Every structure is written in C-alpha cells, then in structure tokens.
C-alpha cells in the first residue's frame, strides 16, 4: 500500500500493542521493533528508525500533542525517505510525523499510530503489470504471497479489486 498525499485511500489494519507505553523509552523501543521487523533497522548495531527507502512514522492523537514533541526528540531524519517518493508527495514531515493521514473517530481508542512509510515501488505500474509480476500459485512469487497475506489480514489498497480481476483473467484464482 502506498501512503501518499495524492494516492486514493486503501484499508489498513490498526493493531494494539501488547503492553502499555509508559514514556519515551517504551515508545522508542516499540518503534525500533517496528523498524527491525520492516527491515529499516538491522539486528546488530544502531537501531535507526529511518533509512534511504523508508521510516517508522507516527500519527499522534490530538489529545496527546506531547507525542509529536517526544517523537521529534528522537531526531529521526526522514529526508531520504521523503526523497524516495520521487514524483509523489510524501505523507510525512522531515521528523517522521504523518501529515497526510487524518485522525478519524475510529482511531480514538489509540493514543498514537505507528506506520511504516516506504518508498513506493513501481508506483506507475499498471494493474496488468502488477498481476503479471506476481506469478501463479502454488509456485507464485513473494509478491503474490504478500498480496494474499494482506488480504487475509483485511489490508487492502484501492487497486485490489482490479488486481484480483487481472489475476482471474490470467487464470489465477486467489
């Protein structure tokens, strides 16, 4: 899913954390876990929250403006991630704060939302190109498995219906 100011809406999933966040150290540790899981940080060495192709970003609840201030204190340099958007308007500011996602009432149970903002790959690829690149199950490639995993988890982009139709036209029945 591409999060960009000019991209149509998709459907993401918000997952609560398993433990309460009690301060900056907990927030930083959680963000580092996300960065490690997404491949932004490396298992050994500095636990960066940003790299050349993406970063961990935060969307703070309006009732918790201190979260944005605390996040800025982490000194994330998201300029490379922003530059990687090449032609699209990045959804974050240079400190890694989401500035293109609006807080909606369904988010209210949360104090903040962490998201991984990554370089859009093949943002200009057509639906047919996307479907053709996936391959067919059971020998399909990782792109197909990733797409299906997102669908099972309830995550969808604005293009999913078209991608499914293109896969079906190729005889792939997801």
pLDDT at 36 over 80: yes
Compute the mean pLDDT over every residue in the chain, rounded to the nearest whole number: 77
pLDDT band, very low/low/confident/very high, at 139 (cuts 50, 70, 90): low
Higher pLDDT, 48 or 121: 48
Between 66 and 141, the more confident residue is: 66
In angstroms, the CA 91 to CA 81 distance is 10
Q: Is 140 exposed, middle or buried (0-12, 13-18, 19+ CB in 10 A)?
A: middle
State whether residue 149 is helix, strand or coil: helix
Q: From start to end of 52-162, where are the E strands?
A: 54-60, 112-118
- Would the pTM of this model clear 0.85, i.e. be above it? no
CA 136 to chain centre: 25
pLDDT at 77 over 80: no
- Quick one: pLDDT at residue 173? 65
**pLDDT over 90 percentage in the chain:** 1
Domain ranges of the chain: 24-118, 127-169
CA geometry: angle at 72 spanning 34 and 117, to 5°? 40
User: Are the C-beta atoms of residues 40 and 48 closer than 8 Å to each other?
Assistant: yes
For helices 142-152 and 127-134, the axis angle rounded to 10 degrees is: 110
User: What confidence tens digit (pLDDT) does each residue in 143-162 have?
Assistant: 777 777 777 767 777 788 88
């Amino acid at each position: 899913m591409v999060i960009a100011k000019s991209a149509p809406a998709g459907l993401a999933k918000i997952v609560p954390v398993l433990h309460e966040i009690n301060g900056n150290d907990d927030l930083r540790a959680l963000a580092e876990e996300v960065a490690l899981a997404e491949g932004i940080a490396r298992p050994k060495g500095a636990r960066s929250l940003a790299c050349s192709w993406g970063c961990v970003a935060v969307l703070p609840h309006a009732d918790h403006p201190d979260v944005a201030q605390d996040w800025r204190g982490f000194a994330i340099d998201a300029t490379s991630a922003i530059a990687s958007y090449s032609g699209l308007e990045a959804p974050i500011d240079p400190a890694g704060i989401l500035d293109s996602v609006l807080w909606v009432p369904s988010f209210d149970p949360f104090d903040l939302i962490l998201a991984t903002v990554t370089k859009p790959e093949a943002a200009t690829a057509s639906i047919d190109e996307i479907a053709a690149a996936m391959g067919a199950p059971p020998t399909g490639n990782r792109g197909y498995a990733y797409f299906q995993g997102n669908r099972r988890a309830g995550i969808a982009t604005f293009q999913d219906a078209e991608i499914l139709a293109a896969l079906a036209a190729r005889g792939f029945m997801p």
